[in-house]
């Protein structure tokens, strides 16, 4: 590849860089770690480094390799390089880990043991192969859910392990290893490779074949890596092999933004890199070009509570800006209404809706926000996901509820007749539809004509008919929330997603549907209290209508101005003029699950850091004293992350709220146990411990009361015992003593 004469001099390429950016771009031929804080110009430094190396003839365009995590980032990098230098970037090795490994394997397919035209399996294709294989092996898919097997295989490959190297301590893990081995052999016979295989096969080739390894080591004198904190173990080992002893690695990342531990990302790779490559050059990009200093100081204060950081402190020359606004809400409805009111005010003052983002820790939290926005006629867009009532698991649950309301609903029936799988194939379904057409009846009626009352626990159509009949019978005389729970449990949806390693969000969403049902029952969303002869069946019909309406037309079209709703994970890499972070309570943010995981709390704090640094000018933090979760009121305490922000940076928008009088009660404001006036009078007896009170337990030691759940007869109390973690204890048997 020839480099054309460029009108740009090296000095032109460096124009506008600050001192630290300049230092990073012009580093000598040595491995370096660039700690690039949020909004510090990371992409600019990476592309300027590439352009500088080429422009100053230190390397040819084909003599460097740049690795990114997304195709979008790779394209952006190439576009910027083209804008800086008039060169043909087509032959450059710039791309994702999977893309570059695919390219290398195509060039050396024979040595890698692959056919020249090997095909790549996407996630769905891979799952299909596993299902087929397990059927051939007569493996019980209930005991070994295919999705779980898939996650196991990919997890092993990400660690650089083949089946023979996987340790197996019991019959279950031995069977998983056996399936993994059979799957590998099947893929080899078929001449296909899944995503994880691309990287593993490429690593094994380089490790095994010294000639190929030396060829690429002598070719790529410079290796540049973006988002280095997100690399997993195998990716790091692959980079080490390519770099060898003489080449230099330019790693750009931010250990404070490592939030993908659940995907296998190892923040420890940054420390290993320092040691393995004898890194002398650690350049910290701390000047932020995005946010005002009050926002940055808040982020710095939060992240400073993490241990073993490489250490940096964001700053800006943009001035202090506005204080961080904090709102203490009565309940989740009050919190959502406050957010809506603020958005309306901001919009009236000239802030574009597209410049406002609403962030939350888990997807299930979006429902109450979506309802408030829908009611206020504010257009919104769920970034990187679907609105609550459009999510697949919710649509499945609603389909079962529609069948309870009307079993002749063909659309609902076709959606769930074989989900979760119950052995009804395409041919059986086709025959059933043909019978319905011939008999001029619904598919449900055709099924009854074929199998009668069905057989509970049976497979195929018989089992499905019996299940729906059981659900219809069970729904008689129960509340809407109980009916919702019945639908998601008896249908097998909950069990299905519990067996899915990545089903946590879906389970949370299903539980939130129960909350939506309670909310609908207690508040006049659909004027259902004015219906003559109101019954639970009527209420069910109205709830289903409500779900359809909120799933309807309100999400803004692409290109139209709209609010942005997203999880904190989805917000990484984005920025907004105004950011709202809602649900800042212990158990939500940080998520209660994190307290049971190794270094889980530190990753939650990094998530909070990412969320805060998305804001340019104005940041809102909100929490609620009570929140409806999984159909029950929970009383929470403000997130510890709020306490970690210095008071001088904050502006409290309300004083500590005082509970509203009992005449305006609804589910949000009164505890679940207050179903009657008598229970209200007995509240003191039912709730002997205050939230935040120090207590002692004979087994777990000293702890602090975090929240309550349930009603007077079966109330549970949640206590944080520090080293022992969070525990739910039945009030009846807890035997707690005050400290």
Report the catalytic residues: 42-43, 226-227, 257, 614
Q: How far apart are CA 517 and CA 482, in angstroms?
A: 9
387 contacts 412 by C-beta, under 8 angstroms: no
Whole-number Å distance between alpha carbons of 535 and 546 = 16
Collect all residues with Cβ–Cβ distance below 8 Å to 445 and sequence separation of at least 6. Answer: 408, 436, 439
DSSP string, 295-363: HHHHHHHHHTTSSS------B-SS---SPEEEEEEEEHHHHHHHHHHHHHHHHHTT--GGGEEEEESSG
CA 297 to chain centre: 26
Structure token digits, residue 170: 């019991």
Can you tell me the distance from the alpha carbon of 634 to that of 705, in angstroms, rounded to the nearest whole number?
Answer: 12
Q: Which residues contact 542 (CB under 8 A, 6 or more apart)?
A: 520, 526, 528, 531
DSSP state letter for 598:
T
Six-digit token string for 689: 């411990």
Neighbours of 141 (CB within 10 A): 16
Residues 6+ apart with CB under 8 A from 28: none
State the angle between helix axes of 504-522 and 366-375 in degrees (0 to 180), rounded to the nearest 10: 40
Query: Of 708, 667, 251, whose CA–CA distance to 480 is shortest?
Result: 667
Q: Which two three-digit tokens encode residue 351?
A: 């802030």
What does the block give as tokens for 334? Answer: 């009050």
Question: How do strand 222-225 and strand 737-738 relate by DSSP bridges?
Answer: unpaired
Helical ranges in 596-715 per DSSP H: 600-612, 640-643, 677-681, 683-686
Element (H, E) at 64: strand 64-68
Query: Which residues, including other chains, have CB under 8 Å from residue 134's CB and lie 6 or more apart?
Result: 141, 144, 146, 149, 179
Structure tokens at 685: 């007896």
Q: What CA–CA distance (Å, rounded) separates 617 from 632?
A: 36
Check residue 440 and report its DSSP letter.
T
Distances (CA, A) of 483 to 186, 468, 476, 514, 662: 45, 13, 9, 9, 28
Nearest Cα to Cα of residue 204 among 137, 249, 171, 157: 157
Instruction: Point out which residues pair with 620 in neighbouring strands.
Output: 325, 580
Provide φ and ψ at 465, rounded to 5°. -60, -45
The DSSP element (H or E) to which 628 belongs, if any, is: strand 615-629
Q: How far apart are CA 147 and CA 132, in angstroms?
A: 13
Report the C-alpha dihedral over residues 374, 510, 500, 565, rounded to 10 degrees.
Answer: 20
Give the list of residues 6+ apart from residue 415 with CB closer than 8 angstroms, or none.
395, 396, 399
Tell me if 18 sits within 8 A of 287, measured CB to CB: yes
612: nearest Cα among 650, 652, 586: 650
For residue 454, count other CB atoms closer than 10 A to its CB.
21
């Amino acid at each position: 590849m020839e480099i054309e004469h460029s009108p740009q001099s090296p000095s032109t390429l460096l124009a506008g860089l600050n001192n630290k950016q300049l230092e990073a771009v012009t580093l000598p031929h040595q491995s370096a770690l660039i700690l690039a804080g949020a909004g510090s110009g990371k992409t600019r430094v990476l592309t300027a480094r590439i352009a500088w190396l080429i422009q100053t003839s230190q390397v040819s365009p084909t003599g460097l390799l740049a690795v990114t995590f997304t195709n979008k980032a790779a394209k952006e990098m190439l576009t910027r390089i083209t804008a800086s230098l008039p060169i043909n970037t087509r032959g450059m090795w710039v791309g994702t880990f999977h893309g570059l490994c695919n390219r290398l394997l195509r060039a050396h397919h024979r040595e890698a043991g692959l056919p020249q035209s090997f095909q790549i399996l996407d996630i769905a294709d891979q799952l299909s192969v596993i299902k087929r294989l397990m059927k051939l092996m007569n493996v019980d898919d209930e005991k070994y859910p295919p999705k779980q097997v898939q996650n196991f295989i990919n997890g092993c490959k990400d660690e650089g392990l083949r089946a023979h190297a996987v340790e197996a301590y019991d019959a279950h893990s031995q069977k998983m290893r056996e399936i993994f081995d059979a799957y590998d052999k099947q893929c080899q016979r078929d001449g296909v490779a899944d995503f994880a295989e691309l990287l593993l096969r490429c690593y094994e080739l380089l490790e095994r074949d010294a000639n190929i390894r030396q060829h690429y080591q002598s070719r790529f004198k410079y290796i540049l890596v973006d988002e280095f904190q997100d690399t997993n173990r195998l990716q790091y080992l692959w980079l080490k092999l390519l770099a060898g002893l003489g080449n230099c690695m330019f790693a750009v990342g931010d250990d404070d933004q490592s939030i993908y531990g659940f995907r296998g990302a190892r923040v420890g790779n940054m420390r290993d890199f320092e040691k393995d490559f004898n890194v002398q050059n650690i350049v910290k990009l701390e000047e932020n070009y995005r946010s005002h200093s009050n926002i940055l100081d808040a982020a710095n204060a939060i992240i400073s509570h993490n241990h073993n950081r490489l250490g940096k402190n964001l700053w800006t020359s943009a001035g202090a800006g506005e204080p961080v606004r904090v709102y203490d809400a009565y309940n989740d409805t009050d919190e959502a209404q406050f957010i809506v009111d603020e958005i309306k005010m901001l919009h009236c003052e000239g802030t574009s809706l597209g410049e406002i983002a609403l962030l939350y820790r888990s997807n299930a939290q979006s429902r109450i926000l979506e309802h408030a926005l829908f009611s206020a006629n504010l257009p919104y867009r769920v970034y990187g996901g679907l609105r609550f009532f459009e999510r697949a698991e919710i649509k499945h649950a609603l389909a079962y509820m529609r069948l309870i309301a009307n079993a002749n609903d063909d659309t609902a029936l076709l959606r769930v007749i074989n989900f979760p799988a119950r052995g009804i194939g395409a041919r059986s379904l086709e025959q059933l539809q043909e019978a319905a057409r011939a008999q001029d009846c619904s598919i449900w009626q055709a099924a009854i004509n074929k199998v009668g009352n069905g057989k509970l626990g049976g497979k195929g159509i018989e089992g499905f008919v019996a299940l729906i009949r059981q659900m219809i019978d069970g729904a008689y005389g129960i509340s809407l929330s109980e009916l919702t729970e019945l639908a998601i449990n008896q249908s097998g949806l909950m069990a299905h997603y519990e067996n899915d390693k990545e089903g946590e969000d879906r389970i949370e969403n299903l539980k939130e549907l129960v909350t939506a049902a309670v909310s609908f029952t207690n508040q006049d969303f659909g004027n259902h209290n004015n219906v003559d002869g109101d019954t639970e069946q009527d209420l069910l019909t109205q709830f289903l209508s409500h779900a359809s309406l909120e799933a309807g037309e309100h999400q803004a079209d692409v290109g139209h101005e709209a609010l942005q709703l997203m999880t904190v994970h989805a917000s990484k890499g984005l920025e907004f003029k105004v950011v709202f972070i809602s649900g800042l309570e212990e158990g939500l943010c940080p998520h209660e699950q994190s307290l049971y995981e190794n270094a889980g709390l530190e990753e939650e704090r990094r998530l909070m850091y990412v969320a805060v640094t998305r804001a340019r000018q104005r940041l809102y933090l909100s929490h609620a004293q009570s929140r409806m979760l999984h159909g029950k009121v929970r009383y929470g305490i403000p997130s510890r992350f709020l306490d970690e922000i210095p008071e001088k940076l904050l502006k409290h928008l309300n004083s500590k709220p005082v509970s509203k009088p009992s005449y305006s009660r609804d589910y949000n404001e009164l505890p679940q146990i207050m179903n009657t006036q008598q229970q209200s009078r007995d509240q003191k007896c039912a709730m002997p411990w205050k939230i935040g009170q120090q207590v002692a337990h004979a087994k777990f030691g000293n702890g602090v009361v975090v929240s309550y759940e349930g009603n007077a007869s079966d109330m549970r109390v949640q206590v944080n015992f520090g080293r022992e973690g969070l525990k739910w204890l039945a009030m009846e048997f807890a035997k707690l003593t005050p400290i």
